[in-house]
Structure 1
Amino acid sequence: MDYCLREIEGKQAHDPLFIEKMNSKSSSSPRCVCVPGPVIVGAGPSGLAAAACLKEKGIPSVILERSNCIASLWQLKTYDRLRLHLPKQFCELPLMGFPTHFPTYPTKQQFIDYLESYAERFDVRPRFNETVKQAEFDGTLGFWRVKGVNKAEMVTEYVCRWLIVATGENAEAVVPEIEGMGEFGGPIKHTSLYKSGQEFRGKRVLVVGCGNSGMEVCLDLCNHNASPSLAVRDTVHVLPRRMLGKSTFGLSMWLLKWLPMRIVDRFLLIVSWLMLGDTARFGLDRPRLGPLQLKNLSGKTPVLDMGTLSKIKSGDIKVRPGIKRLKRHTVEFVDGRAENFDGIILATGYRSNVPRWLKEGNMFSEEDGFPRRPFPNGWKGENGLYAVGFTKRGLLGASMDAKRIAEDIALCWKIDAKQSTCAFAR
């Protein structure tokens, strides 16, 4: 076995037939690790939740993370003023709540501190700087083969019975192709690279995209004395952050226990109109479907207003239509108007990267990298494949998935342990 340094972990690797099959299959791999429990790809909140739920049931796991830290999206690719958009009780992970002294909407750093404490409490230790290049089920062997590459370009193949995909909905930044991008001359950056409006003080900035991030970046630019405009191509639901003294999200969840979704949507829109006015007057047309129906069908999240709308009403933030093309420090819009800008920020969202590395055609769609079966049935596939954090329902959905996955794997784990005990007794 000169070609393969083997780390034997767990009862499965003690099977002579298993080792013989591994020897015959791994001659091209410089290093092979046999994992007794699941391999989890991704050390964001979803991956941490899955690992913690498994550990509570006595099941070890290996987490592979391409970055050098947990929750890399939060730590490395978010702006400074970010807070949780939902109250903390809807964002906590299984088995451990937020500290009581945290505010209702924790800051970015508070959320990161919470995740780091969570990982420490459950002794979750990801293998950092390990990028998964390919994962494929070996039908002959009956196990998953997961190939990871570290910064030194050393390839390690992890062999496991269960594979948990936790790379999430926001794995890769979406950067649209806009005609004339090479001619613009000023900075064009995705929100994943934006930290603060300080760098744009006194400058004219166009923010492309009217989701929660786009709206909040515009507000941040305003607060740093920049002159932002918001390019709005699609319709959008803008809701108050709070209604009737309660969080809009919490009130919606409570009403859904008693009323049909369409009635709750109607209620939300009436209260929003009374509190915010007709947003269409300011260039923010609402979709035909209600906010909850739209979220349920497409995953498109309504904007919870943090104060941006008042800046739009006052004219401090200008609303513009979609972009036709760019020229030298100039943006031509689809309505024929042209304006000068010093920089452009793309609040154009993220996408899943699962089709790039997972060689599997049944559970995940090749088009968008999401499970084909809608929530709540998209967490489990075939041959020990699972997904956590792809519900389009935030951390609440990820926590539900993590619990289900741990319970499902625990059933198999107990059966295996019982069979091993019986075999040993014989």
Structure 2
Amino acid sequence: MAQETVVVIVGAGPAGIATSACLNRLSVPNVVLEREDCCASLWKNRSYDRLKLHLAKQYCQLPNMPFPDDAPTFVPKSGFIHYLDNYVSRYKVNPLYGRSVRSAVYEGGRWRVEAVSGETSVEMFVGRFLVVATGENSERFVPKVVGLEGFGGGVLHSCEYVNGERFRDKDVLVVGSGNSGMEIAFDLSNYGVQTAISIRSPVHVLTKEMVQVGMYLLKWLPCSAVDGIAQSLSKLKYGDLSQYGIRTPTKGPFYLKRTTARSPVIDVGTIDKIKTGEIRVFPSLSHVKGDTIEFVSGKAVRFDAIVFATGYRTTVRKWLKDDGDLFNDNGMPKQRPPNHWKGNKGLYCAGFSSSGLFGISQDAENIAKDISTILNQKNN
């Protein structure tokens, strides 16, 4: 028998629980479906030990619940998990765990969402509105590398990395120079690992304080001015990084974040280790042969393990059978922020703005207010 509600939310990460909380505050019935056995599973089960929020806490809070005054400015992983659990409890968010959504179809003015629980049990959930809250980080992505299947060492994705203990005294290559890749390289080096990192694309390198100041200044100054300030501060602190194999983009860090969703690297100490040679820098991988990796520069180096910090992809297109003109072929919204969160046929998405937790909070509030408005108009 189908379970009927007003809003079906798929995903119990920060986006899903924030949307449910906002709906609960407006007394809108909703059901949250989560394939894992807990909320915020990416944070709880697939993140490394030293992870902290890269932005100041005021930019990372969920709707209607600021972080405590005594919380550090940059909240550690354990503190954020505690915050999320308190949030779920305060706003009476009750996800149904172990429900892996197989399909969502729009029929007769309602969304019919089919989910599998356990080995064979199939459940049907029906709602007038559907919120896709599976986010941008639903499925790990590892690029195709010729010969990788024959690599003699260990291969893992950043979501499987915990700390560098298991890699002591080994040679490890980190592939990917985003925040996760740079921080994992730093962590490995601190454990005495012979660490290298493959950097393919140009990146901006800033400190967390530079980003915090930049986000504040964006309230008052145009993006181009803030970018100029941030780039000047970065150059003053780090100098010319091209001599170390790190190229800088031609466009500014905040402009790129706004237009392409590419974040600057927030340095945790990695750059100093690169400068001293504790962390070696290589370009893109060409191919793998046995234990040896050859780079596009022609240099070949032996490694014991590879950590791919190469991000994630969405899985929306695998189960959403009617996209309500909301998603493109890559499973991302067709419209750019701030108009990305609403489609047709009562379809919404939360956590797809590439704006982190700040964007998630805005999505959740917008979606809840819009649904409540539609329901009130109908009742009147």
In the superposition, the TM-score normalised over structure 2's length comes to 0.98
Q: Partners in 1 of 2:68 and 2:230 — Cα distance?
A: 31
Q: Is 1:334 aligned to residue 296 of structure 2?
A: yes
Structure 1 gaps, min length 5: 6-31, 243-247, 419-426
Match of 1:256 in 2: 218
Q: Deviations over 1:362-381 (max 9, x none)?
A: 53434321110000001111
Q: Is 1:89 aligned to residue 58 of structure 2?
A: yes
**Secondary structure of 1:182's aligned partner:** helix
Q: Partners in 1 of 2:249 and 2:314 — Cα distance?
A: 25
8 A contact 1:363–1:373 mirrored in 2: no
Match of 1:45 in 2: 14
8 A contact 1:324–1:332 mirrored in 2: yes
8 A contact 2:326–2:342 mirrored in 1: no
Q: Deviations over 1:217-269 (max 9, x none)?
A: 00100111101100011111111222xxxxx2332122222222112111111
Larger Rg: 1
In the superposition, the TM-score normalised over structure 1's length comes to 0.87
Match of 1:391 in 2: 353
Match of 2:344 in 1: 382
Q: Partners in 2 of 1:221 and 1:335 — Cα distance?
A: 24
Q: Is 1:143 aligned to residue 110 of structure 2?
A: yes
8 A contact 2:328–2:334 mirrored in 1: no
Match of 1:194 in 2: 161
Q: Partners in 1 of 2:270 and 2:319 — Cα distance?
A: 39
Of 36, 43, 49 in structure 2, the residue corresponding to residue 67 of structure 1 is: 36
Q: Deviations over 1:76-101 (max 9, x none)?
A: 11111111111111100001111222
Of 280, 288, 312 in structure 2, the residue corresponding to residue 350 of structure 1 is: 312
Of 278, 289, 292 in structure 1, the residue corresponding to residue 251 of structure 2 is: 289
**Secondary structure of 1:225's aligned partner:** coil
Q: Partners in 1 of 2:180 and 2:205 — Cα distance?
A: 13
Q: Percent identity?
A: 44
Q: Is 1:134 aligned to residue 103 of structure 2?
A: yes
Match of 2:87 in 1: 118
Q: Partners in 2 of 1:253 and 1:180 — Cα distance?
A: 43
Structure 2 gaps, min length 5: none
Of 197, 201, 219 in structure 2, the residue corresponding to residue 234 of structure 1 is: 201
Query: Higher mean Cα deviation, 62-71 or 361-370?
Result: 361-370
Q: Deviations over 1:329-374 (max 9, x none)?
A: 1110111100111000000001111111111245343432111000
With over 3 angstroms needed to count, the CA separation of the structure-2 counterparts of 1:289 and 1:217, relative to structure 1, is: same
8 A contact 2:115–2:124 mirrored in 1: yes
8 A contact 1:355–1:364 mirrored in 2: no
Amino acid at match of 1:332: E
Q: Partners in 1 of 2:323 and 2:9 — Cα distance?
A: 19
Query: Higher mean Cα deviation, 232-241 or 162-171?
Result: 232-241
Match of 1:169 in 2: 136
Q: Is 1:159 aligned to residue 126 of structure 2?
A: yes
Of 177, 193, 215 in structure 1, the residue corresponding to residue 182 of structure 2 is: 215
**Secondary structure of 2:172's aligned partner:** strand
Q: Is 1:33 aligned to residue 6 of structure 2?
A: no
Q: Deviations over 1:15-67 (max 9, x none)?
A: xxxxxxxxxxxxxxxxx1111x2000000001111011111111121000000
Q: Partners in 2 of 1:367 and 1:414 — Cα distance?
A: 34
**Greater RCO (CA < 8 Å, at least 6 residues apart):** 2
Shift of 1:136: 1.4
Amino acid at match of 1:34: E
Amino acid at match of 1:286: T
Paired residues in the alignment total 380
Amino acid at match of 1:67: E
Shift of 1:202: 0.5
**Secondary structure of 1:391's aligned partner:** coil
Of 20, 26, 29 in structure 2, the residue corresponding to residue 57 of structure 1 is: 26
Of 303, 306, 321 in structure 2, the residue corresponding to residue 359 of structure 1 is: 321
